[in-house]
């Protein structure tokens, strides 16, 4: 039997896109013959995944997993919305979310984590799923929130099943007040609706704030009022900006009048962190004109 080296496995993986363990097995089964190994992988439907890896994957699911004092959230993308309703894909996302509780927010570490019951890593299991379903997929990002003395709550908007949907929010609350779990879920719903960018005023991105101030200053100056009045106008508008983008400064959507910070204080807790994932946000989707593509191919 031929000696299967790491470089042989790496070369086959780069050629086919299949997982490391699958490439090693293919080479072992074919006595180190690369071409035969490629055919072996193709027959198993594993090499086909490589051809799909260049397609844009902006659909899929956001998955959330909870544990005592901790929550993890992941976004796993696929090419079409139909895949989100595929049971195998849903099971994959649920498992990846649970694995993130221990693997953390490093996506590469998460992809390298063992996938339960398969003998493969998360990345290798995804290759199998790509081959089975026929769409490109990607574990895009992960977030983990933990609170030693308090609770972590989650909210998934439009959930297809518990913990799986297109918008997910996880919220950390410290404290020992009654009803923190319920409050955490309510805050999650609030965050899903209002899309805050920062937890507190101190957390606002200085560059974003400076850009906003410059815009507000120019708008105020267009009024022709004296500089002293302009400064007060800008000050008031910055306050309104904080109310738009800072969670604790926002109006509580559940009653339309209280501030989030006052609701949290009254409950005897404190928000330590929140994370909001919206499926596909920031991914540039392809806009293909099929008729134009056919015309171009025909030389019309």
Tens digit of each residue's pLDDT (9 = 90 or more) over 151-190 = 999 999 989 999 999 999 999 999 876 788 999 999 999 9
294 found inside a domain: no
Q: What angle do CA 138, 139, 144 make, to 5 degrees?
A: 165
**pTM for this prediction:** 0.75
Q: What is the CATH number of the domain that holds 32?
A: 1.10.8.10
**φ/ψ (deg, to 5) at 173:** -130, 125
| Same domain membership, residue 190 and residue 209 | no
| Same domain membership, residue 268 and residue 178 | yes
Q: Is residue 101 scored above 70 in pLDDT?
A: yes
| Same domain membership, residue 235 and residue 179 | no
| Same domain membership, residue 107 and residue 31 | no
292 found inside a domain: no
Q: How high does pLDDT run on average in the chain?
A: 86
d(CA 54, CA 187): 38
**Confidence bin at 73 (pLDDT 50/70/90):** very high
Neighbours of 34 (CB within 10 A): 16
297 found inside a domain: no
| Same domain membership, residue 96 and residue 30 | no
10 found inside a domain: yes
Q: What is the CATH number of the domain that holds 226?
A: 1.10.286
Domain count, the chain: 3
Residue-level pLDDT at 286: 55
| Same domain membership, residue 173 and residue 228 | no
Note whether 38 and 58 are within 8 A (CB): no
SS (H, E, C) 20-56: HHHHHHHHHHCCCCHHHHHHHHHHCCCCHHHHHCCCC
* Domain of 229, in residue numbers: 205-245
**Confidence bin at 106 (pLDDT 50/70/90):** very high
Helix (H, G, I), strand (E, B) or coil at 15: helix
Higher local confidence (pLDDT), 202 or 176 = 202
Element (H or E) spanning 237, and its range? helix 227-245
288 found inside a domain: no
| Same domain membership, residue 257 and residue 237 | no
Residue-level pLDDT at 243: 92
266 class by beta-carbon count within 10 Å (0-12 exposed, 13-18 middle, 19+ buried) = exposed
Tens digit of each residue's pLDDT (9 = 90 or more) over 13-46 = 776 767 778 888 889 999 988 888 887 877 676 6
| Same domain membership, residue 266 and residue 154 | yes
Residue-level pLDDT at 134: 82
**Confidence bin at 194 (pLDDT 50/70/90):** very high
Note whether 83 and 107 are within 8 A (CB): no
Q: Mean pLDDT throughout 58-77? A: 94
Note whether 76 and 63 are within 8 A (CB): yes
Q: Mean pLDDT throughout 36-60? A: 67
Place of tokens 């969670």: 247
Spatial strand order in the sheet of 150-157 = 150-157, 167-175, 269-278
Neighbours of 35 (CB within 10 A): 9
Q: Which of 147-156, 182-191, 223-232 has the lowest mean pLDDT?
A: 223-232
Question: CA 267 → CA 92, 180, 264, 271, distances in Å?
Answer: 37, 7, 5, 11
Max Cα distance, the chain (Å): 88
Higher local confidence (pLDDT), 183 or 224 = 183
Residue-level pLDDT at 247: 97
| Same domain membership, residue 119 and residue 33 | no
196, HSE (Cβ side, Cα atoms, 13 Å): 27
Q: What is the CATH number of the domain that holds 157?
A: 3.30.479.20
295 found inside a domain: no
Note whether 97 and 277 are within 8 A (CB): no
64 found inside a domain: yes
Rounded to the nearest 10 degrees, how much is the dihedral formed by the CA atoms of 150, 156, 161, 166? -140
CA 180 to chain centre: 25
| Same domain membership, residue 184 and residue 67 | yes
């Amino acid at each position: 039997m031929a000696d299967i080296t790491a470089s042989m496995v790496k070369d086959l993986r780069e050629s086919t896109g299949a997982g490391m363990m699958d490439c090693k097995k293919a080479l072992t089964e074919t006595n180190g013959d690369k071409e035969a190994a490629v055919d072996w992988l193709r027959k198993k439907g594993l090499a086909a995944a490589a051809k799909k890896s260049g397609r844009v994957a902006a659909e899929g699911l956001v998955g959330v997993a909870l544990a005592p004092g901790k929550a993890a959230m992941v976004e796993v993308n696929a090419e079409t919305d139909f895949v989100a309703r595929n049971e195998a894909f849903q099971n994959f996302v649920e498992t990846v979310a649970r694995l993130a509780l221990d693997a953390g927010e490093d996506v590469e570490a998460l992809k390298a984590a063992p996938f339960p019951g398969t003998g493969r890593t998360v990345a290798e299991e995804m290759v199998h799923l790509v081959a089975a379903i026929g769409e490109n997929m990607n574990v895009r990002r992960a977030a983990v929130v933990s609170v030693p003395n308090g609770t972590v709550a989650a909210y998934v908007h439009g959930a297809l099943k518990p913990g799986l949907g297109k918008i997910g929010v996880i919220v950390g609350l410290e404290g020992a007040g009654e009803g923190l779990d319920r409050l955490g879920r309510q805050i999650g719903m609030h965050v899903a609706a209002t899309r805050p960018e920062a937890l507190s005023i101190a957390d606002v991105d200085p560059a974003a704030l400076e850009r906003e101030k410059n815009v507000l200053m120019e708008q105020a100056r267009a009024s022709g009022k004296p500089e002293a009045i302009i400064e007060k106008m800008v000050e008031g508008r910055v306050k309104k900006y904080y109310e738009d983008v800072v969670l604790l400064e926002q109006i509580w959507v559940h009653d339309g009048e209280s501030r989030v910070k006052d609701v949290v204080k009254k409950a005897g807790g404190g928000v330590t962190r929140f994370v909001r994932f919206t499926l596909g946000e920031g991914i540039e989707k392809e806009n293909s004109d099929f008729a134009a593509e056919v015309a171009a191919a025909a030389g019309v």
